[in-house]
């Protein structure tokens, strides 16, 4: 039987779909339990308002992950990627990121960029496994307890990638 295009292969019955305003409370709940310095509700609403690519992963009505990507000047920028803690290490983050990258590729964007805390080993492994490479450091980019933390800047060339959107 053919697989539905928006079905998440890693997790039967899970789907990726566009985020809507009504998802924001559930997004915020996952955001607050995932980051020490979470985005505010207003940031997510702004991302929706300006038309960034905002996607959620849902299973049986429960929101289990989300991602936000902006684009401009021929480049994509992955702004947020998050999976509910109890659902991690099941391929959801990878599938969601591949979905965003496929959209960027299909839109004809040339490169994807993102920032990540150098201490975020799980995220860095995921990004590097998809081909992202470190290209620099933004000094004091992130809030941190007692000061600021640098961001590693990673880049992925999108040209030549397949643009199949899952």
Ligand X SMILES: CC(C)(COP(=O)(O)OP(=O)(O)OC[C@H]1O[C@@H](n2cnc3c(N)ncnc32)[C@H](O)[C@@H]1OP(=O)(O)O)[C@@H](O)C(=O)NCCC(=O)NCCS
Binding footprint of ligand X on the chain (CB under 6 A): 34, 81-83, 88-94, 116, 120-123, 125-126, 129
Shortest distance, position 114 Cβ to ligand X, whole Å: 6
Instruction: Report the alpha-carbon distance of residue 19 to residue 9 in Å, rounded.
Output: 20
Instruction: Decide whether 59 or 94 has the Cβ nearer to ligand X.
Output: 94
Shortest distance, position 125 Cβ to ligand X, whole Å: 4
Can 115 be counted among the known catalytic residues? yes
- 25 Cβ neighbours under 8 A, 6+ residues apart: 41
Instruction: Decide whether 108 or 140 has the Cβ nearer to ligand X.
Output: 140
Q: How buried is residue 4: exposed, middle or buried, by Cβ count under 10 Å (0-12/13-18/19+)? A: exposed
Q: Which of 52, 66, 127, 142 is catalytic?
A: 127
Q: Which of 41, 75, 113, 115 is catalytic?
A: 115
If DSSP codes are grouped into helix, strand and coil, which group holds residue 165?
coil
Instruction: Decide whether 37 or 73 has the Cβ nearer to ligand X.
Output: 37
If DSSP codes are grouped into helix, strand and coil, which group holds residue 153?
strand
Shortest distance, position 43 Cβ to ligand X, whole Å: 14
Q: Which of 110, 90, 89 is nearest to 101 (CA)?
A: 110
- The catalytic residues are 115, 127
């Amino acid at each position: 039987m053919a697989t539905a295009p928006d079905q998440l292969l890693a997790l039967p019955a899970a789907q990726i779909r566009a985020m809507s305003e009504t998802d924001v409370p559930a997004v915020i709940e996952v955001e607050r339990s995932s980051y020490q310095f979470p985005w505010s509700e207003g940031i997510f609403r702004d991302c929706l308002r300006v038309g960034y690519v905002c996607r959620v992963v849902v299973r049986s009505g429960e929101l289990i992950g989300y991602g936000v990507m902006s684009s401009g000047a021929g480049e994509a920028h992955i702004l947020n990627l998050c999976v509910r803690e109890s659902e991690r290490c099941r391929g959801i983050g990878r599938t969601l990121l591949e979905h965003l990258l496929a959209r960027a590729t299909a839109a004809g964007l040339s490169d994807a960029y993102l920032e990540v805390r150098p201490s975020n080993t799980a995220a860095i492994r995921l990004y590097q496994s998809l081909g992202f490479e470190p290209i620099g450091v933004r000094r004091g980019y992130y809030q941190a307890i007692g000061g600021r933390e640098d961001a590693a800047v990673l880049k992925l060339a999108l040209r030549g990638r397949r643009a199949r959107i899952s």
